[in-house]
Amino acid sequence: MGACMTLSTCSPEAAEGTHVFDILGYSKHMGMGQDPGSYIQSGVFTVGGHNWAIRFYPDGYKSENRDYIAVFLELMSKSTKVRASCDLRLVDQCTGLRSSVIKTGPRIFKSNDSSRYAPGTAQFKRRSEIEGSAYLKDDRLMIECIVTVFKKPRVTKTTVAKSPPKIDRPPSDMAQHVGMLLEEKEGLDVSFIVGGETIEAHRLVLAMRSPVLKAELYGPMREARPGQCITVKDMQPSIFRALLHFIYTDSLPGRGDFKGEENIEMIRLLLVAADRYAMERLKMVCQSILCEHLNVDTVSTTLALADQYNCDKLKDACLEFIKISDDNTMDAIVASQGFKDLKVGKAELNPISAFRNNEKVSLVKNEMNSVIHTSVVRVKFLGFKSQVACTSTVSIAVAGTLVFGQFRLLKHTEKGYTPPDAVMRPQRLTDRYEVGATPVESSKSVNLQNNCYYYGA
């Protein structure tokens, strides 16, 4: 159900009236007084319940304005305030047309101060312009004033607004129609041999969607001419068909339910195909699905895939998943087949550690959200070629490379291991820390345990 929209309207209430001040014997009114400022007042007229009059100054309003006649509208009502506008005009006595000379917008007239007059200028019209024009005929001048009085605005009651008629736009069906080309198998003009199966398609559609296929089909190094086949190696027929489905429909086959290892494996292989044919949108769609389905069984395999095909966002998501994992989840990751298959020699692909002889490492998190090894036995750290054996606490930041957050050398005493007074500052683990102990040094070191020497930075 749509949201309800209500409506109210506001409209101005106004009264308008027109008064014509007909001045006969125009020339005979000149020099009414010794100084400018003398005026003739029209008869009082009423507009909007208020009284008004026109003042005409034939010799000007002030000495500096003696070359102009002055015309004012005056509010005559007593002890009142009104909002109004006026339009002062001259009448062309040959054509009868009115010409606006001064027009004011809505303003406040107050009867007890100078605001009772409008407009705010004394220069209405230069006398020389009037005396040589059609405004003055037979020594007669006609001044017209239109007064508009504005009252309190009228606001209607609130009503339910009626929505204008609307016709919904249908969704695009282009993908559906293009997909029917593949489904109905009309006009097929290129064939692919994939895993021993022949799969046909339309050259133009493929070239439109993939720059790699465009080069193969239309470029100078094109692999097949009309009637010939292109052999696709290292790809399953089902994956190639899924690739074609996306090319034609911009969607993945099925209903979007990608749960289950079999479906996730299909998405991984489809990501590889998207990378192969430079289909970046499909590649991002696959990354999004793999990210949504990260778990203890998939994270290691997905991490390796993301690194191999330069999927930086997916790679970061895998590392973050490992970083925030609790004890049980971390144990499950270490025990997963994907983790066992992960390349040990590449630090950014194994953010935890490398293990020898499948010895178990207990993992917890500290307050800095890094991984802590609380019990380490013969652990070979990545980037640290020599093996170390110790009972220590090592914090490893999961950020693509191994970094010591803390490395505490524990002194062996009769009461067991005790931490030293000093804890080294965090620093990156590099090959320059590949320090081994000579037999003499080892035999004298307090860090010797079970005939193994360990070194910490």
Kindly report the CATH number assigned to the domain that includes residue 122.
2.60.210.10
Number of H helices, E strands in the chain: 12, 30
User: What does the pLDDT read at residue 434?
Assistant: 30
In the predicted structure, residue 427 carries a pLDDT above the cut 50: no
What's the Cα-to-Cα distance from 415 to each of 418, 419, 422, rounded to whole Å? 8, 12, 20
User: What does the pLDDT read at residue 51?
Assistant: 96
Q: Is residue 395 part of a domain?
A: no
- Please give the residue that has the higher pLDDT: either 128 or 163: 128
Handedness of CA 348, 353, 356, 362 (dihedral sign): negative
From the number of C-beta atoms within 10 Å of its C-beta (0-12, 13-18, 19+), residue 223 rates as: middle
Tokens of 368: 């800095």
Tokens of 244: 């074609």
Q: Is residue 102 part of a domain?
A: yes
For the stretch 237-257, pLDDT in tens is: 999 999 999 999 999 987 666
User: What does the pLDDT read at residue 425?
Assistant: 33
Q: Is residue 318 part of a domain?
A: no
Residue 342: pLDDT band with limits 50, 70, 90 = low
Residue 418: pLDDT band with limits 50, 70, 90 = very low
For the stretch 138-176, pLDDT in tens is: 999 999 999 999 998 888 888 887 777 888 899 999 988
Asked if residue 394 lies in contact with residue 407, where contact means CB atoms within 8 angstroms, the answer is yes
Q: Is residue 118 part of a domain?
A: yes
In the predicted structure, residue 227 carries a pLDDT above the cut 90: no
Q: Is residue 76 part of a domain?
A: yes
Residue 73: pLDDT band with limits 50, 70, 90 = very high
Asked if residue 27 lies in contact with residue 44, where contact means CB atoms within 8 angstroms, the answer is no
Please, which residues have CB within 8 angstroms of residue 331's CB and are 6 or more apart in sequence? 362, 363
In the predicted structure, residue 361 carries a pLDDT above the cut 60: no
In the predicted structure, residue 23 carries a pLDDT above the cut 80: yes
Q: Is residue 316 part of a domain?
A: no
In the predicted structure, residue 69 carries a pLDDT above the cut 50: yes
In the predicted structure, residue 259 carries a pLDDT above the cut 90: no
DSSP letters spanning 136-198: EETTEEEEEEEEEEE-PPEEPPPEEPPPPP--PPPPP-HHHHHHHHHHHT-S--EEEEETTEE
Residue 436: pLDDT band with limits 50, 70, 90 = very low
Q: Is residue 217 part of a domain?
A: no
In the predicted structure, residue 304 carries a pLDDT above the cut 60: yes
- What is the domain count for the chain? 1
**Percent of the chain beyond pLDDT 70?**
71
For the stretch 105-115, pLDDT in tens is: 999 999 988 89
Which residues pair with residue 107 across a beta bridge? 84
Q: Is residue 43 part of a domain?
A: yes
**What does the pLDDT average to over 422-448?**
36
What domain range includes position 22? 7-155
